A and B are shown apart, each in its own frame.
Chain A
Amino acid sequence: MIKMLEIDKLKFSYDDKNTIIDEINLAINQQEFTAIIGPNGSGKSTLLKNISNLFTPDSGAIYLDSKNLNRIPPRELAQKMSVVPQDTNISFNFTVYDIVMMGRHPYQGRWGRVQDRDREKVEEALALTDTRQFRDRDLNSLSGGERQRVIIARALAQDPEILLLDEPTSSLDINYQREIFDLLSYLNQEKNLTILVVSHDLNLSSQYCSRLILIDRGRIFAGGSPEEVLTEENIGQVYQTEVKVRQNYLTGRPYVVLMPGRAECVPARLQQDFKIHLISGGGTGQELLQQFYERNYHISCGVLNQGDSDWELARRLGCEIVDIAPFSYIEESDLQRNREKIEQADLVVVSELPFGHGNLKNLEQLSGFSDKQIFLLQERNIAERDYTGGQAEKLWQQQLDLHGTRVFTGQQQMMEQIDEMADRAGDCS
């Protein structure tokens, strides 16, 4: 087998911070029909733009016919490699014939004098793509699939050795998708054209291509035949979604079946079903509030003094709040309201708040819930934030003995535990 294209330790980033392509090594042999697949943002289109010399690699190199691609003069490169870009909109009224003839540009002189050979090649390209009937039509009067075929015809008129396509079927109906891939397959087998296509359609790629390259986060995750690449594990890992892989009994190729999530199986947090009651104050609950909010939990707070910074944030995030006037003490009626919230909650979280006589009742009340899931955050010892002369510390220690109560010394660990609880609370398991 003759190597057509060789990618050697390619690295690329748009700016210095975000590496898009993180060292890719790949060789494409002559007459291969290869698809680069991968999730959105995995770097597959960027890889194609590097291969087509639109971008220059940060390091590493790409060789076409053993020549460094970046050093091949543009015209010469266009004679060997043609590219069908993703966007085929052209806002000026050229006829189909004019556009396909532009594919001959790398072979023409300065003023584009058309030679017999150019005409032959254009006719051949029109015939191959079945676009002869549109020859004098404006490109913009054609449908998406027809337009795509014209652009492929232009690429073929370049008489390339290798054809690159960027998502050639992304906006097409299935009949056009099949049409385009049938055409590519024909060109590959009958015209010995090497084809490299970037696609997000796993099944089309699997049915038509002899080789798949699965890209994830700028690296090659797997490469080989469709059977080797399209496994449930690979796709599960890269796309983070559950699929089943079956065999298409007509073609023998693997076929990826998406497993739809059942409506009743939506994780609890998406439905805001997981209820957390937060006891905090003096700003100690801010980070927790923020994190609960971002995870879509249903949050209630209490008992908080109005004007407290936790109260401010909770109000802004739209939480339910049991509140009392600033600097006042918690009364029995407030505790009653708070009790309702605690009873409704799946979990009570107590932040590292300082306790004084004003809010001690918050802690006192918790001792009545022996079976309730209660998480206490304690990075700082309770003694250091007890301003009640030992009462709070005593209640805290008693609380620790309760069946449902757990204490965490790190917020991170606590969050992980909460997330796990919330996921379990959904109906999926």
Chain B
Amino acid sequence: MQIKHKYLIVILCTLAAVIISFIIALVHSSTDIPLRTVIQALFSAEGDLARYAIIIRRIRLPRIALSFLVGSGLALAGVVFQGVIRNPMVDPYIVGISAGAGTAVTFAIVYNLSFSFFYFSTIPLFAFVGALLTVMLVYNLARVGSKIPVMTFLLAGVATAFMLDAVRSFVMVLGTQDLQRVVFWLMGSLSGTSWSDITMILPYYLLGLLPIIFFANDLNLILMGEESAHHLGLNVEKVKKLLIAGATLVTAAVVAVSGSIGFIGLVVPHIARLLIGPDHRKLLPLAAVLGGVFLMLSDMLARSLLPPMEIPVGIITALVGGPYFIYLLRRRKSESW
């Protein structure tokens, strides 16, 4: 019973955290707007409130919503990849997603390419397609017959990422005049978010979420080892492929609008696992909420620490997440996760 109790407390705490961070993020930014004004501006845009209504509704709200989506997406994908690959040191970018997206975006920026497709504007489109193509390549490199040995998948991803990063660096050297834009994108940022960013990625995000929700329980069996999962009646290869596809789609959607924001996909799954244990039916929702809160607060700091300048949020997540992760590592007693 004690375990159930703990789960309840954790749920309540995270819910409280979501609400509190939402309010803080709404109020606090490069310029603070008092909470009372914020609430008024949410419901009316008359007179003096018109200015605040625009800031709140068109700038802060979509940005907060997107930061939550991006944070939870990365955390979910991190949990899935760590589970499928059964390696706690894996993050969603490991299979080449960020390298693929980064390379494609660098091409687009340096060569001033401009396309759009289904609400996608140029940069998100390149990031999205680059990420998906890369994972498909890695997947096919790792495929043996109809099977995907996870270690090969991981290593193929790392190798491909190295090569793509080299290509990207080369393109960056050629296009030095655009370096700042490229670097800023690579560091990951949510600046300039609008509602259209959210509507753009939401369908892919939700589609990717489906297998993750659907196979959450099966992911537990995969943690037992693929052979054991097979003996317990699971069609391991099928589940594995669908989970990889889902996590890839979510990550690619997220990367398209935020660049590669580091550390969330690695650290948040661990924090969640420490709080609630390895059962994915509980772990996935908790990781999603924690990831969302974490990025929401990090982005709030990114906006407000050095006004009027914005710090790329990837810097904040790494600076906050890194030390915490090291703390967890030092505190960890047993060998398992």
Contacts and interface: CB of A to CB of B under 8 A. Distances in A.
Interface in B275-309: 277-279, 281
A108 B281 CA distance: 14
B225 A78 contact: no
Contact of A141 (B225, B234, B334): B334
Given A93-B278, A105-B233, A112 B217 contact: yes
B334 A90 contact: no
Contacts of A21: none
30 contacts: A53-B230, A54-B230, A78-B231, A78-B232, A78-B233, A79-B233, A83-B227, A83-B228, A85-B227, A85-B231, A87-B225, A90-B223, A91-B336, A92-B278, A93-B334, A93-B337, A94-B223, A98-B220, A98-B279, A103-B232, A105-B233, A106-B232, A106-B233, A111-B281, A112-B217, A138-B336, A140-B334, A140-B335, A140-B336, A141-B334
Given A103-B232, A138-B334, A158-B232, A110 B224 contact: no
B228 A111 contact: no
A425 interface: no
B225 A110 contact: no
Interface in B200-220: 214, 216-217, 220
Contacts of B217: 105, 108, 110-112
Given A102-B220, A110-B217, A140-B335, A90 B225 contact: yes
A83 B231 contact: yes
A125 to B, nearest CB: 14
B125 interface: no
A205 interface: no
B127 to A, nearest CB: 32
Interface in A57-88: 74-79, 81-83, 85, 87
Interface in B77-127: 86, 88
A102 B232 contact: yes
B225 A92 contact: no
A244 to B, nearest CB: 38
A148 interface: no
A52 B225 CA distance: 15
For A91, A92, A102, the residue with the greatest tally of chain B CB atoms inside 10 Å of its CB is: A92
Contacts of B335: 91, 140
A158 B216 CA distance: 20
A47 interface: no
Interface string A102-135: 1101101011100000000000000000000000
B199 interface: no
B225 to A, nearest CB: 7
B289 to A, nearest CB: 19
A299 interface: no
A187 B319 CA distance: 56
A99 interface: yes
B interface bracket (residues with beta carbon within 8 Å of A)? 20 to 34
Nearest to B213: A111
For B86, B88, B232, the residue with the greatest tally of chain A CB atoms inside 10 Å of its CB is: B232
- Where chain B touches its partner, the secondary structure class is loop
B235 interface: yes
Given A94-B278, A111-B217, A74 B228 contact: no
Contacts of B279: 94, 98
B131 interface: no
Given A90-B336, A93-B337, 14 more contacts: A52-B230, A74-B234, A74-B235, A78-B233, A82-B231, A83-B228, A89-B225, A90-B224, A90-B225, A91-B223, A92-B223, A102-B224, A105-B221, A105-B233
A167 to B, nearest CB: 13
Contacts of B336: 90-93, 138, 140
A93 B217 CA distance: 15
A91 B335 CA distance: 8
Nearest to A99: B224
B281 A74 contact: no
Contacts of A74: 230, 233-235
B236 to A, nearest CB: 9
Contacts of B233: 74-79, 105-106
Contacts of A110: 214, 217
Interface in B165-222: 214, 216-217, 220-221
Nearest to B335: A140
A102 B86 CA distance: 17
A81 B232 CA distance: 9
Contacts of B231: 52, 54, 78, 81-83, 85, 155
A90 to B, nearest CB: 6
A52 B226 CA distance: 13
Contacts of B86: 91-92
A75 B279 CA distance: 21
Interface in B50-95: 86, 88
Nearest to A75: B233
For A75, A87, A94, the residue with the greatest tally of chain B CB atoms inside 10 Å of its CB is: A94
A105 B337 contact: no
A301 B233 CA distance: 65
A79 B233 CA distance: 8
Given A87-B225, A140-B336, A93 B232 contact: no
B278 to A, nearest CB: 4
A85 B228 contact: yes
A83 B227 CA distance: 9
Interface in A151-200: 154-155, 158
Nearest to B334: A140
Contact of B337 (A91, A102, A141): A91
A371 B233 CA distance: 74
A294 B281 CA distance: 59
A315 B298 CA distance: 70
A154 B221 CA distance: 12
Interface string A355-370: 0000000000000000
Contacts of A87: 225, 227
For B214, B224, B227, B277, the residue with the greatest tally of chain A CB atoms inside 10 Å of its CB is: B224
Nearest to A104: B232
A77 B231 CA distance: 8
A83 B230 CA distance: 10
B221 A102 contact: yes
